[in-house]
């Protein structure tokens, strides 16, 4: 394992934007899911979402990932209409307000992806990797959008019930190969691969993936890793609750960058950006 500084042009087209991956970039998470601790009205929710996006952009996020359906283990699905109500007001305001920023829509739904692209979103972030809705690839091709192909086993509701693999690295590798070929065949040009930390995986599976991340590099697509605050950190950190997982998160993402990850998906952009600056300083030495 070692630092790698890409010298040749390493750019990914996402509609009118070029995503520069010559050094690792940060994707900031914007949850457009209702906050159970707040009874704020629609305006307050929109206002705080825009403030959060503004903060993440200032702190160094190149991509903002907007999602209206929780995909953490056990989460209930939401309807098309509900998901649209959550994400569209944010995208419609934020995309023109932050013209330098790349926006991804975290959805597995055709209609949500289509409306998000119509409002100017640049990337579809599909946690089911075309298992749920293969037509997302057609949409991506039609709009010349980027496509994040994530591996998951099962649906969020039940994925942690009894995850099992013959060989998690080989199985995820085969999945990437097959689904990326499907996307390419439909005309998708800009593909990113994400092994889906916590999506139908035990701690052992997650650790095996992270320890062997470079084994997915031969497919020739940039790798994205999202481990921010995830429950795999709980047993590692003596059952630490979600609020206490920031430093563990930074450590996992630093490891992922050392193993070739080009995008890290995070809640805490300021801290992630510091780790990228340190990574870049050492990679350039």
Residue pointed to by tokens 């999602």: 67
> Residue 232: which residues within 8 A CB-CB, separation 6 or more?
197, 198, 201, 203, 206, 207
Stretch that binds ligand PT1, among 32-40, 174-182, 189-197, 208-216 (CB under 6 A): 189-197
With CB under 6 A as the contact rule, the residue among 15, 72, 132, 215 that binds ligand PT1 is 72
The catalytic residue among 17, 109, 230, 262 is 230
CA distance 108 to 105: 9
By the rule CB under 6 A, 194 interacts with ligand PT1: yes
Yes or no: say if 125 and 106 are a contact pair by the CB < 8 Å rule. yes
User: Toward ligand PT1, which CB reaches closer, 99 or 231?
Assistant: 231
Please give the residues from 204 up to 223 whose contact with ligand PT1 meets the rule CB under 6 A: none
CA distance 192 to 184: 12
Would residue 265 show up in a list of annotated catalytic residues for this protein? Answer: yes
Shorter beta-carbon distance to ligand PT1: residue 199 or 221 = 199
Q: Look-up: residue for tokens 């940039």?
A: 222
The owner of tokens 């300083």 is: 281
Interface with ligand PT1, residue 73, by CB under 6 A: yes
Joined together, the tokens standing for residue 104 give: 């991804």
Q: How many residues bind ligand PT1 (CB under 6 A)?
A: 18
- State the nearest-atom distance from the C-beta of 29 to ligand PT1, in Å: 7
- Residue closer to ligand PT1 by CB (options 219, 283) is 219
With binding defined as CB under 6 A, does residue 106 bind ligand PT1?
A: yes
CB of 234 to ligand PT1, least distance (A): 8
**Nearest residue (CB) to ligand PT1, 96 versus 169:** 169
Q: How far is the CB of 233 from ligand PT1 (least distance, A)?
A: 8
- The count of residues in the chain is 285
Strands (E), the chain: 11-14, 17-20, 25-31, 61-67, 102-106, 123-126, 146-150, 190-194, 224-225, 263-266
Separation CA 211–CA 208 (nearest Å) = 5
Span 117-176, contacts to ligand PT1 by CB under 6 A: 125, 127, 148, 150
Please report which residue ranges of 122-165 form alpha helices under DSSP H.
135-143
Reported as half-sphere exposure (CB side, CA atoms, 13 A), residue 211 has a value of 7
Distances (CA, A) of 186 to 98, 134, 152: 30, 10, 21
The residue among 89 and 163 lying less far from ligand PT1, judged by its C-beta, is 163
Select which of 86, 186, 201, 265 is catalytic: 265
Residue closest to ligand PT1, measured at CB: 226
Binding ligand PT1 (rule: CB under 6 A), the pick from 28, 163, 200, 226 is 226
Residue 249 is classified by DSSP as: H
Which residue, 130 or 148, has its beta carbon nearer to ligand PT1? Answer: 148
Residue 178 bears catalytic tag: no
The residues binding ligand PT1 (CB under 6 A) are 71-73, 106, 125, 127, 148, 150, 194, 196-199, 224, 226, 230-231, 265
Residues annotated as part of the active site: 230, 265
């Amino acid at each position: 394992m070692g630092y790698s500084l890409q010298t040749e042009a390493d750019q990914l087209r996402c509609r009118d934007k070029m995503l520069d991956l010559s050094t690792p970039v940060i994707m900031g998470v914007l949850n457009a899911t209702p906050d159970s601790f707040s009874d704020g009205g629609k305006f307050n929710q929109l206002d705080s979402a825009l403030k959060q996006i503004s903060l993440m952009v200032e702190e160094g996020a190149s991509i903002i990932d907007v999602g209206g359906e929780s995909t953490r283990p056990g989460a209930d699905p939401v309807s098309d209409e509900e998901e649209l109500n959550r994400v569209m007001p944010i995208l419609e305001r934020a995309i023109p307000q932050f013209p330098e920023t790349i926006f991804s829509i975290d959805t597995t739904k055709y209609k949500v992806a289509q409306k998000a692209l119509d409002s100017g979103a640049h990337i579809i972030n599909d946690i089911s990797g075309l298992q749920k809705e293969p037509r997302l690839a057609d949409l991506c091709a039609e709009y010349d959008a980027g496509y994040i192909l994530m591996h998951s086993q099962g649906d969020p509701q039940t994925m942690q019930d009894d995850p099992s693999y013959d060989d998690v690295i080989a199985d995820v590798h085969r999945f990437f190969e097959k689904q990326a070929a499907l996307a390419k065949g439909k005309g998708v040009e800009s593909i990113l691969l994400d092994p889906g930390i916590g999506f139908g995986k035990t701690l052992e599976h997650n650790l095996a993936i992270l320890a062997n991340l470079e084994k997915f590099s031969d497919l020739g697509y940039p790798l994205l890793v999202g481990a921010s605050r995830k429950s795999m950190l709980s047993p590692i950190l003596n059952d630490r609750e979600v609020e206490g997982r920031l430093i563990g998160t930074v450590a996992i993402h630093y490891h992922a960058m050392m193993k070739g990850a080009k995008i890290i998906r995070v809640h805490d952009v300021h801290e992630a950006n510091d780790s990228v600056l340190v990574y870049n300083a050492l990679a350039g030495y």
